[in-house]
Amino acid sequence: MSKQQTNFLWAFGLAMLLGCLSIAGAAPLAKKPQEGAGTANGDSRVTMPLSEYQQLLGRPSVTVVDLLRVEGSFETSDLSIWASGRTAGNGPTVEALATLSGARLWGCEGEAVLSRGDSDKYELTPLGPKFSLRCRVALKTGDRLQFVTSPHVLWIESAVKDGEMIRNDEEGGKQRVTIVHLTKDPEKALPVSAIGRYHIRFSSEGTKFVYTLLLRNPNRSSASFHVMPRNSERVQQLESAIGCEPQKSDFHCQVPPGEHTLTMHGSLPGTTFNPPVQAAVHHLLLDSHPLLRPIPESVAPHISVSETGMSPQFRGAQAFLLSDGQTFSWRLLRLEALHTQMYAVNRALSTFFLGRDGQVLGETTLDLDNQGAAELLIPKFAEPTYASIGNEPMLLTKNEVGALLLPLLQGSQQVGLQYRQTFSPSLGFGFVTLLLPELATPAANAHVELRYDRDWLPLYEELSPDMRFPTASIAGLLLLVAVFFGAERLLHALGLLSKIRLFVAGCFCLAAAGSSSFLAVLVLAELLCVGLFALPWLFGQKKLFWLIIGGLCLGGLWALLLGVVVLAGRPAERSMPVSSTVAYSRNDLKEASDEEPKKEKTKAPTYQGLPPKETLPFGDHHSYLHRERLSNSQRTLHLVMIRKPTIQVVATGGFALGLLFLLVWFAPVRAGLSVRWRKILDAKAASDTA
């Protein structure tokens, strides 16, 4: 190996050694900035076993104070509060208590921390799974300690040597605790004062009483109080936060300091009352059912019911002011209830559809105001097919005499009823008697709508005592009278005999009354005959005047024909004036019918086999009747109808009979027409010569 190769190997080895040393020194330097960067970014991690992590997630976090005890003495001013409890989970901080009347807690020692928040509230933070804590108490006043505990405190007790604990429950599980300093001189104790409120209620079940005594103990210690019922009362329930023990003839109660309420419930067998306690004020309230009335037999000052502070159950209660030891007596008078209606019918809407087959489908909607009736009794008058109360279908039930029975609700409600009736058409006429539902009370407003099938035309309608002819009108009658006298006078002018012309005019008038086409033909024939008498006079006038008169006559002729055809072609219908009441009723029914399917979709039926509600056809001819104070003696409708084909047959027969008699006795008429025609020709010739 040459020297040059040896030097190259030494140089290569030295370079490799230096490279390894540089890499080894750079690794710690690169690691330190990485750790510093992670710390600067806040990437801190804690590792723990999976079993402990799952146990931490499944355990609830709760802190409970098992026992809170007050210890010490008021005389030595060394009161303290000792608390013990447990915690689970992460040991949350909870509110323990809130002091009142300026009391403070300080000098706490134990396995928990007590911190003060707003409004004298103290929060407890446990330092271990089990803890105990003792804090000293500083009082602003030296005769009592007051505080309110939270629901996290399970039990409270007192070990104060010269104190008495009073505990009252409040809403939300809180407890108000008062520890009062007991006095050493019992001779200075003041008596318990009371206010008595006595509520005596008379009903069919007997005489019940509720005695409410407002007690106030002004002392620092509990005082005895006796309640002695003197009226042979049967005490069934006693409600009070104070302790009362029943003895032979009275109740012995220990009343803590402060104000308390004692309530007694029971029954009173006699008719006298004597206050059971010595009180500053005695309020007596006699509350009686409407069928019972207590008549006082003792003299006592009357006061208003509001002054007693009690709420009567019935109307007409009487209140009295009694004194200690006063005996108050009364006698109970049973009143007789007068027979009155139990419900009122504010509105009744009835609709009838008269079919061509003699079937009548009726529907009645009643707006009732029920104040005491249990059911609606409707005597049998038709075949009921559907009933509803408040748009809810009802079962159709009847009593032993066949009357329909529907159970009613209290207050305002709407009752719907559908039923069927029949009549027998004969010789193209229909004589119908419709019966409205008979109710125990008159309907304040009654509306009746009659819907006729297209084959029927009403001639006469009667709802006692009113009657009318719906298809007849004054204008139509005047037109027929004018047509009749016009035909009779024209036939008389043409030389027809009196009896014959009256008969022919009557036949033509009958045809005109039954058919608009015959009326138009008759009016046109009369106008032509009038022209035969008017033309000789017109030819004698000036030419211009004649043209004006002729044009007016021609225009009037066509206008009259058009009016007769239009008016006669329209059905004679008498519509009822649309009042707000009728419109409101129909709108209510429409809204109710629209809402009924929606309710049925979401509400399951109560019974199976309920009858379905039918829809009344609209009909071709409508009539409306209105009556106020509709009584049972006025619930019958009498109708007379005629078939329209029968009218056409009668009209055609009358026209044919009149035309036949006219043709038989046409000789005098033809002679009269010839005379009138010659006069027209003579007048025309004279006019041309002039």
**For residue 668, which amino acid is it?**
P
Residue 466 maps to a domain: yes
Boundary-marking domain end, from 167, 182, 197:
182
The sheet that has 383-389: what strands, in order across it?
392-393, 383-389, 411-422, 359-370, 343-354, 443-452, 621-630
Q: Are 359 and 447 contained in the same domain?
A: yes
Q: Are 623 and 659 contained in the same domain?
A: no
Cα–Cα distance, 605 to 673 (Å, whole number) = 81
Residue 641 maps to a domain: no
Cα–Cα distance, 207 to 607 (Å, whole number) = 42
Q: 258 burial class (0-12, 13-18, 19+ CB within 10 angstroms)?
A: middle
Boundary-marking domain end, from 119, 150, 182:
182
Q: Are 289 and 305 contained in the same domain?
A: yes
pLDDT in tens, 205-227: 899 999 999 999 888 778 889 99
Q: Are 192 and 312 contained in the same domain?
A: yes
Instruction: Work out whether strand 112-116 and strand 104-110 pair parallel, antiparallel, or are unpaired.
Output: unpaired
The reported pLDDT for the residue numbered 567 is: 52
Q: Are 546 and 667 contained in the same domain?
A: yes
Q: Are 321 and 257 contained in the same domain?
A: yes
Residue 34 maps to a domain: no
Q: Are 590 and 514 contained in the same domain?
A: no
Report the candidate in 617, 584, 583, 643 with the shortest Cα–Cα distance to residue 362.
617
Q: Are 405 and 281 contained in the same domain?
A: no
Residue 323 maps to a domain: yes
Instruction: Work out whether strand 193-203 and strand 175-181 pair parallel, antiparallel, or are unpaired.
Output: unpaired
The reported pLDDT for the residue numbered 542 is: 57
Residue 117 maps to a domain: yes
The reported pLDDT for the residue numbered 664 is: 79
Instruction: Work out whether strand 175-181 and strand 163-169 pair parallel, antiparallel, or are unpaired.
Output: antiparallel
CATH classification of the domain holding 164: 2.60.40
Cα–Cα distances (Å) from 126 to 62, 68, 85, in that order, read 10, 15, 9
Report the candidate in 197, 6, 179 with the shortest Cα–Cα distance to residue 79.
179
Chain-centroid distance, C-alpha 159 = 60
Q: Are 428 and 291 contained in the same domain?
A: no
Residue whose structure tokens are 């006038």:
541
* For residue 465, cis peptide bond before it (omega within 30 degrees of 0): yes
The reported pLDDT for the residue numbered 19 is: 62
Instruction: Work out whether strand 272-273 and strand 636-643 pair parallel, antiparallel, or are unpaired.
Output: unpaired
Q: 654-657 contacts: CB < 8 A, separation 24 or more?
A: 654/507, 654/508, 654/510, 654/511, 654/514, 655/507, 655/508, 655/511, 655/515, 655/518, 657/507
Instruction: Work out whether strand 318-322 and strand 466-468 pair parallel, antiparallel, or are unpaired.
Output: unpaired
Boundary-marking domain end, from 315, 334, 353:
334
Report the candidate in 127, 134, 76 with the shortest Cα–Cα distance to residue 107.
134
Ranges in the chain, pLDDT < 50: 26-40, 568-593, 595-605
Cα–Cα distances (Å) from 302 to 296, 314, 316, 317, 320, in that order, read 11, 18, 13, 11, 5
The reported pLDDT for the residue numbered 427 is: 84
Residue 22 maps to a domain: no
The reported pLDDT for the residue numbered 111 is: 93
Q: Are 329 and 246 contained in the same domain?
A: yes
In contact, 366 and 345? CB cutoff 8 Å: yes
The reported pLDDT for the residue numbered 552 is: 64
Is the alpha carbon torsion for 67, 73, 74, 77 positive or negative? negative
Residue 11 maps to a domain: no
Residue 16 maps to a domain: no
Rounded to the nearest 10°, the torsion over CA 139, 143, 148, 154 is 100
Q: Are 514 and 559 contained in the same domain?
A: yes
Q: Are 441 and 498 contained in the same domain?
A: no
Q: What total of structural domains would you count in the chain?
A: 4
* CA angle (374 as vertex; 370, 377 as ends), nearest 5: 90
Q: Which residues pair with 81 in a beta bridge?
A: 70, 135
The reported pLDDT for the residue numbered 620 is: 86
Domain residue limits at 480: 474-570+651-675
